[in-house]
Amino acid sequence: MARKVVNRKELRAQNDAAEARGKEKTEKKEKVAKEPKAKKEKVAKEPKVAAKKTVRKKVTKETRLKAYWGVFNQAMKRLVLFEYADKKSAEKKASELTASSRATHFIQLVKEAITE
């Protein structure tokens, strides 16, 4: 379904004409109102616009991470932690723990923050 194209120039001309008529009416009313009575006119105060607060983004400190191999049980409890280069020994430990108990054990990569 096609829409009707809006002619912005015509709308602008109509708006300007309406404003011009409104100004003429207000000028006539002001002349009539000033002559018979001299009342104080209340001036409408414009609401103050609050200044926009400047927002500073927090600079995040980059944390360095170190990778380890962790041996876990079925409850995701970390039992032993090995260096990243010692993956074979981590797998060996997991298989030993699995053989010695009923629960299965597995290895998983663990990244921890380096504290200096």
The residue extents of the domains of the chain are 65-113
3: left (phi over 0), alpha (psi -120 to 50) or beta: beta
Tell me the whole-structure pTM to 2 decimals. 0.47
pLDDT tens for residues 75-89? 999 999 999 999 999
pLDDT at 1 over 70: no
Averaged confidence pLDDT in the chain: 85
pLDDT at 90 over 80: yes
What tokens appear for 5 in the block? 């194209």
Share of the chain above pLDDT 70, in %: 85
CA distance 67 to 82: 9
CA distance 107 to 104: 11
Residue type, 110: V
What tokens appear for 74 in the block? 């079925």
pLDDT at 27 over 80: no
From the list 80, 67, 70, 82, the residue with the least C-alpha distance to 114 is: 67
